[in-house]
């Protein structure tokens, strides 16, 4: 059995009915972060929250799955997922720190 998903329904964002999402991660300041996949319109996207603010990590018209989350000792949170942006599944990673986030980078790419 997985960890329960956070009760969030912000702007039509709903957690996946099966509770598919990464495990929670705690940052250097003690905040608990959650990453999960939820359906928006016709596609599944990846979302991130610290319990007060929710960010849409992916926004392309493609499906994104299986988020994983980790935090480092400097207060950064990392979210990885696989997405179908290029017509096949690739793995992406994005780093978040405070109000800033870096662009997602492909970790694997198929041609």
Query: pLDDT tens digits for 52-63?
Result: 888 999 988 899
As a whole number, the mean pLDDT across the chain is 80
Q: Whole-model pTM above 0.85?
A: no
* Tens-place pLDDT, residues 69-101: 999 999 899 999 999 988 888 999 999 986 678
Neighbouring-strand partners of residue 10: 13
pLDDT at 29 over 60: yes
Chain-centroid distance of CA 99 in Å reads 16
pLDDT at residue 52, as a whole number = 87
């Amino acid at each position: 059995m997985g960890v329960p998903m956070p009760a969030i329904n912000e702007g039509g964002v709903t957690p996946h009915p099966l509770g598919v999402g990464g495990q929670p991660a705690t940052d250097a300041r003690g905040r608990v972060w959650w990453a999960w996949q939820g359906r928006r319109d016709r596609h599944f996207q990846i979302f991130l929250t610290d319990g007060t603010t929710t960010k849409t990590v992916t926004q392309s018209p493609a499906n994104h799955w299986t988020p994983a989350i980790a935090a480092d000792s400097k207060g950064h949170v990392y979210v990885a997922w696989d997405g179908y942006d290029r017509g096949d599944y690739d793995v992406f990673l994005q780093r978040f720190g405070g109000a800033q986030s870096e662009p997602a980078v492909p970790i694997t790419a198929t041609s």
